[in-house]
Amino acid sequence: MPCTAVDSTELRRAVRCLELAPDFDAAQQALKDIARTVGMPVLAWSADISRPSFNPHIDAFLRREGWSDEIMKLWWQRNGMLKNPLYVRCRIRALPFLTSELEKVPVGRPELRQIVDAMRLMNVKSLITTPVHLPRGQVAMVSWGGPLSTSEAKELLSQATTELLAAGHHFMHAYRKMIGALHTREEELSKLTLREWECLRLTAQGCREAEVASLMGMAPTTVRYHLDNVIRKLDATNRTHAVAIAAQLGILGPLS
């Protein structure tokens, strides 16, 4: 019978080992130690659910975890990944969350049924997933699966949310460091002038050039001048591309 009483000292020690992992191999081992500590030994992770393309690091890890060839083919199907309910929740959640009662799969989703059936064969009754929101609009995730019932998994989550949240971020930091993705481009955040930012923000809200000009009290040619500067400064190909880049950089803020 699985136990939901978490050894908090051991869990914090394991998370600290993950934080201090000297390389990605050590980080993967530390993640497995965390999984054993919380009694959820089956692991899965994705580096960026917004770009569901084949990743050899993820594929190798999941195969070592025991995921079958059939499931791996489904995992890498672009359409399946984009519609996976787990990934949908990751996009709109910030804290670790529970997925339980895995047998309840929407009718007409045979690929999800296959994945759930495989998880049941691996004795996975529930999942706890940490979404990891990264720079440039990327969303990663780390999932711990195991034999805990819904009530047991809820109790675990109530005890270990902070540690599992930290674990997800430390693990993805180790991965991004390994692939050389930690180089920042802070200068991009200070390239735009206030007028350029205002023109870009109104454009992102759906305003046409003439509407931007009217709202800002300037000539359409001046708006065009500012937006052309934005495109050049952000190395974009057009206004739509500039809006997308600015959104990824967090320049625009929430658009109402």
The per-residue pLDDT for 248 is 82
**Number of CB atoms found within 10 A of residue 193's CB:** 13
Q: Confidence class of residue 2 from pLDDT cuts 50, 70 and 90?
A: very low
**Number of CB atoms found within 10 A of residue 146's CB:** 23
Closest Cα partner for 99 from 40, 52, 33?
40
Give the residue ranges of DSSP H helices in 76-141.
78-83, 85-92, 110-121
161 or 119: which leads in pLDDT = 161
Closest Cα partner for 14 from 176, 145, 163?
163
The per-residue pLDDT for 78 is 61
Mean per-residue pLDDT, 15-33 = 97
User: Which domains does the chain show, CATH number per domain?
Assistant: 8-178 (3.30.450.80), 186-249 (1.10.10.10)
The per-residue pLDDT for 81 is 61
Which of 6-10, 241-245, 250-254 is the least confident region? 250-254
250 or 18: which leads in pLDDT = 18
The per-residue pLDDT for 199 is 94
d(Cα 198, Cα 220) in Å, to the nearest integer?
Answer: 14
At 196-233, the pLDDT tens digits run 999 999 999 999 999 999 999 999 999 999 999 999 99
